[in-house]
Chains A and B, each alone.
Chain A
Amino acid sequence: MKKFAVVAMMATALLGSTSSYAADLEVTHWWTSAGEAAAVAEFARVFEEETGNKWIDSALAGSGTGANPVIISRIIGGDPMGATQMNTGRDAEELIQAGLIRDLTDVVADMDIDSFYVDQSLLEPCKIDGGLYCLPVNIHSWDWLWLSTKAYEKIGQPVPKDWNEYVASWPKLQEAGILPFGLATGWPFSGIPGVLMSGIGGSDLVLKINRDKDAEAVRSPEFRKVAEALDALRKVVSPETMVPSFGDVGTQLIEGTAAGNIHGDWLQGDLQVAGAVPGKDYECLPALGLGTQLTGGGDSFYFPVLPEGTDPAVIEAQAQLARTLISPEAQLAFNLKKGSMPIRTDIDLSQANPCMQKALGLLKNGLLPSGDFALSSDTQQQMQDLNTEFLDDDSITVDDYIERYASIIESAD
């Protein structure tokens, strides 16, 4: 930690003066799809224009099992990158405790970041032992119910305004041979239980379970409603009707062969690529049309402590990048392209589409801590295993599900 403190001091000392010469800074991230790359290009552009440094792009597709081991290996192997994206959450806790990640407290000291971050809960995962070790750069939310206008035209009903109306329309949809709920195989299911919890269970329940790890809240009647909704949902989806990727669900919604889907805000990127227009081809209901708050996750940037003998200009470039990423200009440019919400409240987003406008309205009520933020990845993985098993195996009753969910929360750390 001593070495680390020295580096931090050095960085602080250098902060005041603008660097006289430019440095190359390698940045790793897993934003490799077309839309994502366009967004990250905005970060690079602003960084290069504002500071004169060079952004060396090192993209690695596939978060989790794909990019994470590489990023962690390079940091512990002593060949760290200048900066790296990771999920906002608890993934990097141990790297921070091992003194491998740079403390940004002094870097952003004069920016008063507490005043403009949308919600303090965003910064919580970054604050460890009094230091600030990462900067969240965007907010993504799973809490969206997407509905197909065409499907409801076919059965001659108005598009539902909330989850309850939507559930009520299922029998009619099935009669007409329309899938009530389109679903892709694999991970897209993993976000759905959380969405039901915040939409149906409400904010208090989310806080009790995710933040307070209160197993009794899992056994409460409120959570039972959530579990029953999930039970109802699994009855209308079958492996037979699942499609390979979430983009295919988007296609089903546009065609009207499936009526609805719960998926994160990034599905909109796909719908737009296919030429669909919000309000005309599809409707979006944030928080299932029931809740008043969104749960949010997102991406953060971490800045590894660079090995001894690194050019001070590179260390200075780290600091400059950190400041750039959360500047209004970069935030606006990045998030418009990414389709996510900015972390700053003081940005004019009138250019955003109607769905995002709805989300921005809800964002004013503060953000609920999603599982990503509040639970360790181990706990999340166990939840995901349970949910996946529950989806397919009808012999697991709602009671079993609640009990197993509660025991995971009990053992959560």
Chain B
Amino acid sequence: MSQTATMTGSAPATGGNTATDPRGPRPKPFFTPKKIMIYTTLVFFTLYFLFPLYVMVVTSLKTMPEIRFGNIFALPSAPSFDAWVKAWTSACTGLTCNGLSPGFWNSVKITIPSTIVSIFIAAVNGYALVNWRFKGSEIFFAVLIFGSFIPYQVMLYPLVILTRSMGIFGTLQAVIVIHTIFGMPILTLLFRNYFASLPQELFKAARVDGAGFWRIFFEIMLPMSLPIFVVALILQITGIWNDFLFGVVFAGPQNYPMTVQLNNIVNSAQGTPEYNVNMAATVLTGLVPLIIYFVSGKLFVRGVAAGAVKG
């Protein structure tokens, strides 16, 4: 990565509003052959990505007899939102028939602290691994990466025993610890590699100014790593929001997340699945990550590295 250092050597000199500067091709009229190619390709992939969603939405608007005897691609003859209402408010998950809604706040309660703690610890890990190495730190890191390949379920029983001996089994703390552990390998890698690609001159300059570990982290490194934070956020929110196994095992029955209800609705072993309710429930559960994806767009800014120095 010596290339980075030399090429970004001039970074501190950069000023101006880089985030809005044009890059790549100069602004051109909308209908150039190149634009048409770009949009055609994007639209092609969009169709591939949307096709199953189309089937899901269409199915969720049909009645069960229509699903049983009809074509899966056909539009509903009389679209009805009953399945959506049922999925949210009255689908049965065992004896209680309150749909997905009761678990929503539990999911929020698990997701917010787990996401914050896991990302914070991983960001600090990555920063320490790049800028404050200590003897053996790379070995720990290598083992951590190795850990990301261990299938989750293999670790279930040892972690049950671990959290039991910590006295937190069946509590919110346990599930936060578990998510932090499982998020650590990939998030640490994410931050380490991103911090390593940032110009080291900034860090050196701050050291010369006498800034310490935490000050550099909060004032220099964090503001420069917005795009990668968004990636980490997307990864963790999605993973934790959709997690079933750890929530149900470690959080205790009083904190069961929404996915327990989702799983009960869609994954019944016997009986006719209510496909329309299943589809609606799945899309409903996915809405929170989807909103995060959409909103996070603003944070995908370019040229933050250069922009940060100005301040």
A contacting B, Cβ–Cβ less than 8 Å:
yes
Q: List residues of A whose CB falls within 8 A of some B CB.
A: 26, 29-37, 40-41, 44, 55-63, 66, 69-70, 73-74, 76-79, 81, 245, 247, 250-251, 255, 266, 269-270, 273-274
Which residues in A have their C-beta under 8 angstroms from that of B163?
77
Q: Does B263 contact A (CB under 8 A)?
A: yes
Q: Known contacts A33-B269, A69-B156; decide if A79 and B94 are in contact (CB<8 Å).
A: no
Residue of A nearest to B68 (CB): A251
CA distance A32 to B273 in the complex (A): 10
Q: Is the CB of B169 within 8 A of A79?
A: yes
CA distance A29 to B268 in the complex (A): 11
Q: Known contacts A73-B249, A247-B273; decide if A59 and B94 are in contact (CB<8 Å).
A: yes
Q: Does B164 contact A (CB under 8 A)?
A: yes
Q: Is the CB of A270 within 8 A of B271?
A: yes
Q: Does B8 contact A (CB under 8 A)?
A: no
Q: Is the CB of A245 within 8 A of B273?
A: yes
Which residues in B have their C-beta under 8 angstroms from that of A59?
93-96, 264
Q: Does B248 contact A (CB under 8 A)?
A: yes
In the complex, chain B residues 200-258 whose Cβ is within 8 Å of any chain A Cβ = 245, 248-249, 252-253
Which residues in B have their C-beta under 8 angstroms from that of A31?
94
Q: Does B92 contact A (CB under 8 A)?
A: yes
Which residues in A have their C-beta under 8 angstroms from that of B77?
none
Most chain B CB within 10 A, of A26, A31, A55, is at A31
Q: Does B6 contact A (CB under 8 A)?
A: no
CA distance A316 to B92 in the complex (A): 29
In the complex, chain B residues 54-98 whose Cβ is within 8 Å of any chain A Cβ = 68-69, 92-96
In the complex, chain B residues 85-134 whose Cβ is within 8 Å of any chain A Cβ = 92-96
Q: Known contacts A60-B248, A74-B170; decide if A32 and B93 are in contact (CB<8 Å).
A: yes
Which residues in B have their C-beta under 8 angstroms from that of A62?
263, 267-269
Q: Known contacts A32-B94, A37-B94, A70-B249; decide if A79 and B170 are in contact (CB<8 Å).
A: yes
CA distance A74 to B248 in the complex (A): 9
Which residues in B have their C-beta under 8 angstroms from that of A56?
253
Q: Known contacts A37-B95, A40-B95, A60-B260; decide if A79 and B268 are in contact (CB<8 Å).
A: no
Residue of A nearest to B153 (CB): A69
Total interface residues on B, using CB and 8 Å? 34
Q: Is the CB of B253 within 8 A of A34?
A: no
Residue of A nearest to B247 (CB): A70
CA distance A165 to B96 in the complex (A): 46
In the complex, chain B residues 253-284 whose Cβ is within 8 Å of any chain A Cβ = 253, 260, 263-274
Q: Pick from A33, A58, A66: contact of B270, CB below 8 A.
A: A33
Residue of B nearest to A33 (CB): B271
Q: Does B288 contact A (CB under 8 A)?
A: no
The 10 closest A-B pairs by CB, nearest first: A59-B94, A33-B271, A79-B170, A33-B268, A57-B95, A61-B267, A77-B160, A61-B264, A32-B264, A77-B169
Q: Is the CB of A73 within 8 A of B156?
A: yes
Q: Is the CB of B264 within 8 A of A73?
A: no
Q: A58-B253, A77-B169, A81-B253 are in contact. List 16 more A-B contacts (CB 8 A).
A: A33-B270, A33-B272, A34-B92, A34-B272, A57-B96, A59-B264, A61-B267, A62-B263, A69-B156, A74-B249, A76-B157, A79-B252, A269-B270, A269-B272, A270-B271, A273-B271
Which residues in A have their C-beta under 8 angstroms from that of B156?
69, 73
Q: Is the CB of B69 within 8 A of A251?
A: yes
Q: Is the CB of A41 within 8 A of B245?
A: no
Q: Pick from A61, A69, A255, A274: contact of B263, CB below 8 A.
A: A61
Q: Is the CB of B94 within 8 A of A69?
A: no
Question: 29 A-B pairs, CB-CB below 8 angstroms?
Answer: A32-B94, A32-B264, A32-B267, A32-B269, A33-B268, A33-B270, A34-B271, A35-B270, A36-B268, A36-B270, A44-B95, A57-B94, A58-B253, A59-B94, A59-B264, A60-B263, A61-B263, A61-B269, A62-B269, A66-B263, A69-B156, A76-B161, A76-B164, A77-B169, A247-B272, A247-B273, A266-B270, A270-B272, A273-B272
Q: From residue A8, how far is it (CB to closest CB) to chain B in Å?
A: 23
CA distance A29 to B95 in the complex (A): 10
Q: Is the CB of A73 within 8 A of B157?
A: yes
CA distance A255 to B252 in the complex (A): 46
Most chain A CB within 10 A, of B94, B245, B249, is at B94
Which residues in B have their C-beta under 8 angstroms from that of A76?
157, 160-161, 164
Q: Pick from B153, B245, B271, B273: contact of A36, CB below 8 A.
A: B271
Which residues in B have their C-beta under 8 angstroms from that of A61?
93, 263-269
Which residues in B have their C-beta under 8 angstroms from that of A29?
94
Residue of B nearest to A29 (CB): B94
Q: Pick from A41, A66, A245: contact of B95, CB below 8 A.
A: A41
CA distance A245 to B268 in the complex (A): 12
Q: From residue B263, how far is it (CB to closest CB) to chain A in Å?
A: 5
CA distance A31 to B68 in the complex (A): 23
